[in-house]
Structure 1
Amino acid sequence: MKNLENKVVLVTGGNSGIGFATAKEFRENGAQVIITGRRKQAIDQAAERIGATAYVADQAILQDIEKLAQEIKDRFGYIDVLFINAGITGEGGFIDEASEANFDAVMDINLKGSYFTLSRFIPLLRDGASVVILSSNVATLNMPASSIYQASKAAVNSFAKTAAMELADRKIRVNTVSPGPTRTDVLNKNYDQQTVENIWNKLAAESPLKKIGTAEDVAKMVVYLSGDHASYITGADFVLDGGMGINHS
């Protein structure tokens, strides 16, 4: 059932992984979808595959965000759904080994980028719109060797709740989705296939459900939160990690 028919949806980082799967799910529910990415060829190819509109924009650069907002305002006038998905994990490592370059790279995209994407697109959101921001289950797990990434996502969860309060008068809902390990092609870029499978199997073993999530799992949650049937949900964080948080609580 196409419950988002003709809604205008923006997905940042929509050319691969969770972003692409979610953009595809929105299209299958009848939405008019805009996707962004940093590489023109990749974003154009992704858009062509699902019938979306592509814009090149780097979420870490405020000028790119403001230019994107103006272009979308000029072409579409407004948006009904904003899915802030773009993000990076950065390099792992203990706090005493941290580099300023890694800290800045992660915070620029995950925190600053998410914050100012929301900030600059608020004027384009129609009353009753939905905002969903991709966070991570690590925001509340406090696992060693991941402090910078964890801190960036914990901060995202914090400002999302503030935004939910600030935008409630306009009936704009703001929620976060926090996946655990999610099977995408990201590991294939750095490891051979057997190593990749070993990593996924190890992560699956940490979950009470003994499985890894998929990008489609996350996509369906984001689309659900964006529809009218979720009109009473705001300021919430939805964890999709197969119960990993139970093991670490």
Structure 2
Amino acid sequence: MGQLDGRTALVTGATSGIGLAAARRLAAEGAHVFLTGRRQEALDDAVASIGARATGVRADVANLDDLDRLFDGIRQHGRLDIVFANAGGGEFAALPDITWDHYADTFHTNVGGTLFTVQKALPLLTEGSSIILTGSNIDTKGAASFSVYAATKAALRSLTRSWAAELVTRGIRVNAIAPGPVETPGLTGLADGPEAAEQLLQGLAAGVPMKRLGRPEEIADTVLFLASDASSYMTGAEIYVDGGASQI
């Protein structure tokens, strides 16, 4: 028997990296997992890699109509027990180069998308449900040319605490994970070309006490912990999964 037998989970931004690894991990423990992504082909590939316990819904979390369609589909399936609000991203931009579009796009996806994903999930969540937000260890550190992204992750940390306080009377837990640098397509995509990507990854790994990047599967294990009854006495918390970078 799996830890999540009979439960239903939603993972946003699940076509690659942390989201896909988490969707696979939750499904392996018995959950039926709804996956979202903006690219249909990548979404189809992700669902196929999981199998019968996965349902894909193409959706952009920054689009409210997409979210309504997503939750209409989940509602037909029944209740929802786990929400892993993972969709998000960012781009480098030094302070003089930040544009309104850069600011708006990053906040609309990372903060607005998370906020309205959780809001629209609430009618389907029952006592004992778990909401997990993807933060970042950058939420408490300075990051040159990455300030807008870092600010969105600080906002998610604040929302975790506020929503945990608001939903505790319903028996719904809200926690966050704060990964450090993890080797994902989203991370390598920040660089301009393969050579720059390799330099970026090497530089990030050098700044981690463990001297390596994280693996998506390591973050997925933490998601499983927060989704399962193993974390039943936790809410409002943020778990750093960053090789010690924020602690030592």
- TM-score > 0.5, shorter chain as reference: yes
Deviation of the 1:193 alpha carbon = 4.5
Deviation of the 1:65 alpha carbon = 1.1
Residue 206 (structure 2) aligns with:
205
User: 2: distance between equivalents of 1:76 and 1:135?
Assistant: 28
Of the structure 1 ranges 148-157 and 197-206, higher mean CA displacement relative to structure 2 is found in: 197-206
Residue 45 (structure 2) aligns with:
45
Query: Alpha-carbon deviations, 1:192-221, whole Å to 9, x = none?
Result: 545433322211111111111110111000
- Following superposition of structure 1 onto structure 2, how do residues 228-247 of structure 1 map, counting pairs within 5 Å? 228-246=229-247
Contact residue 81 and residue 125 of structure 2 kept, 8 A: yes
Paired AA for residue 4 in structure 2: L
Unaligned 5+ segments in structure 1 are none
Residue 109 (structure 1) aligns with:
109
Query: Alpha-carbon deviations, 1:5-27, whole Å to 9, x = none?
Result: 12101100111110000000011
Query: Alpha-carbon deviations, 1:156-203, whole Å to 9, x = none?
Result: 111111111111112110000010100113355565545433322211
Residue 86 (structure 2) aligns with:
85
Unaligned 5+ segments in structure 2 are none
- Following superposition of structure 1 onto structure 2, how do residues 112-123 of structure 1 map, counting pairs within 5 Å? 112-123=112-123
Deviation of the 1:244 alpha carbon = 1.6
Paired AA for residue 82 in structure 1: V
User: Residues 108 and 216 from structure 1, CA distance in 2 versus in 1: closer, same or farther, beyond 3 angstroms?
Assistant: same
User: Residues 98 and 191 from structure 1, CA distance in 2 versus in 1: closer, same or farther, beyond 3 angstroms?
Assistant: closer
Residue 64 (structure 2) aligns with:
62
Paired AA for residue 62 in structure 2: A
Contact residue 89 and residue 186 of structure 2 kept, 8 A: no
Paired AA for residue 165 in structure 2: M
Deviation of the 1:94 alpha carbon = 2.5
RMSD value, Cα: 1.5
Paired AA for residue 56 in structure 1: R
Residue 3 (structure 1) aligns with:
3
User: 1: distance between equivalents of 2:192 and 2:148?
Assistant: 23
3-state SS of 1:244 partner:
coil
Residue 96 (structure 2) aligns with:
96
- Following superposition of structure 1 onto structure 2, how do residues 210-229 of structure 1 map, counting pairs within 5 Å? 210-229=211-230
User: Residues 143 and 131 from structure 1, CA distance in 2 versus in 1: closer, same or farther, beyond 3 angstroms?
Assistant: same
User: Residues 196 and 102 from structure 1, CA distance in 2 versus in 1: closer, same or farther, beyond 3 angstroms?
Assistant: same
Paired AA for residue 136 in structure 1: S
Deviation of the 1:95 alpha carbon = 2.3
Of the structure 1 ranges 173-182 and 187-196, higher mean CA displacement relative to structure 2 is found in: 187-196
Residue 130 (structure 1) aligns with:
130
- Following superposition of structure 1 onto structure 2, how do residues 137-152 of structure 1 map, counting pairs within 5 Å? 137-152=137-152
Deviant stretches of 4+, over 6 Å: none
What is the aligned residue count? 245
Paired AA for residue 233 in structure 1: M
